[in-house]
């Protein structure tokens, strides 16, 4: 309860006071966005369009798409976009899919950015996500930053409305409160950024983990690295429109406050 109360108070303060973090263009770092995809033909176009529309210098941005043996046309769509924007988009193809953490590590090997961001294929980042993200890394003590995800289909049906409320509470009060109290802030699987030097030091993502976001968050914390929650970094994503039953011990990759 103290975490939720603190988060709510912090939210009110943030609404009243806009936080501006300005950096000179020539001092902006190169940012690599890794997007693992597999059979995402229905949603990948809008992510690629949003990535091309980010208000960050194109010469300091690269989107590394890692295709995990898609069979639904995803690869063809990505090839189409890369062909039109070879300087901003890069495509890596895996003949065999070994899961998201494997795809992330494969992308990391080819990433050049000082800051590495992770987005899922159904995400639609706001145009200012990179500019705001690098602002949070001005503090040398910050190793990773978790942004805020919002539901793009909350009004689709009752279930998506409920899930969107759950996610809003998780991000806007729970994570906000943990950050304000200097408590452990976990990464939620998408819309987050990590210093590449830190990622390389800890060995990247654990390819044997069923919840690579939580696992790497714990390792970062154990190594003394700070994860910051940043509500001003916003991306939109689809809330689940159908009930999902998972085996005991398996997570969906989405944040669930009760598990933290």
- What confidence tens digit (pLDDT) does each residue in 35-92 have? 999 999 999 999 999 999 999 999 999 999 999 999 999 999 999 999 999 999 999 9
Structural domain of 65: 2-241+249-259
pLDDT at 247 over 50: no
The token pair that represents 115 in the structure block = 């800051």
Q: Taking the chain, what is the end-to-end CA distance rounded to the nearest angstrom?
A: 13
35: left (phi > 0), else alpha (psi -120 to 50), else beta?
beta
Q: Domain count of the chain?
A: 1
Q: What is the pLDDT of residue 177?
A: 78
Q: What is the pTM of this model?
A: 0.82
What CATH number is attached to the domain comprising 124?
3.90.550.10
Residue located via tokens 């001005």: 138
HEC profile of the chain:
CHHHHHHHHHHHHHHHCCCCCCCCHHHCCCEEEEEEECCCCCCHHHHHHHHHCCCCCHHHEEEEEEEECCCCCHHHHHHHHHHHCCCCEEEEEECCCCCHHHHHHHHHHHCCCCEEEECCCCCEECCCHHHHHHHHCCCCCEEEEEEEEEECCCCCCHHHHHHHHHHHHHHHHHHHHHHHCCCCCCCCCCCEEEEHHHHHHHCCCCCCCCCHHHHHHHHHHHCCCEEEEEEEEEEEECCCCCCCCCCCCCCCCCCCHHHC
Compute the distance between CA of residue 59 and CA of residue 4 in angstroms, rounded to an integer. 41
Compute the distance between CA of residue 197 and CA of residue 234 in angstroms, rounded to an integer. 24
Q: What is the pLDDT of residue 159?
A: 60
Q: What is the pLDDT of residue 257?
A: 34
According to DSSP, the residues that pair with 88 across neighbouring strands are none
- What confidence tens digit (pLDDT) does each residue in 2-36 have? 444 444 444 443 434 444 455 678 889 999 999 99
């Amino acid at each position: 309860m103290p975490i939720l109360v603190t988060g709510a108070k912090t939210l009110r303060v943030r609404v009243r006071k806009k936080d501006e973090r300005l950096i000179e263009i020539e001092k902006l770092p190169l940012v690599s966005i890794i997007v693992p995809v597999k059979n995402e033909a229905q949603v990948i176009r809008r992510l690629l369009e949003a990535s091309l529309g980010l208000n960050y210098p194109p010469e300091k941005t690269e989107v590394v798409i890692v295709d995990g043996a898609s069979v639904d046309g995803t690869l063809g769509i990505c090839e189409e976009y890369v062909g039109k924007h070879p300087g901003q988009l890069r495509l890596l193809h895996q003949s065999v899919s070994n899961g998201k953490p494997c795809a992330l590590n494969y992308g990391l090997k080819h990433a050049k950015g000082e800051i590495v961001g992770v987005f899922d294929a159904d995400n639609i980042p706001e145009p200012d996500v990179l500019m705001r993200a690098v602002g949070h890394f001005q503090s040398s003590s910050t190793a990773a930053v978790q942004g805020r995800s919002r539901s793009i289909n909350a009004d689709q049906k009752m279930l998506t409305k409920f899930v969107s409320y759950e996610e809003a509470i998780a991000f806007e009060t729970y994570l906000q409160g943990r950050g304000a109290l200097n408590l452990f802030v976990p990464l939620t699987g998408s819309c987050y950024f990590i210093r590449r030097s830190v990622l390389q030091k800890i060995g990247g993502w654990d390819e044997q983990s069923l919840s690579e976001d939580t696992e790497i968050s714990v390792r970062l914390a154990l190594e003394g690295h700070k994860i910051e929650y940043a509500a001003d970094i916003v991306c939109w994503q689809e809330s689940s429109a159908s009930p999902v039953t998972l085996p005991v011990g398996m997570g969906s990759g989405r944040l669930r406050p009760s598990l933290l």
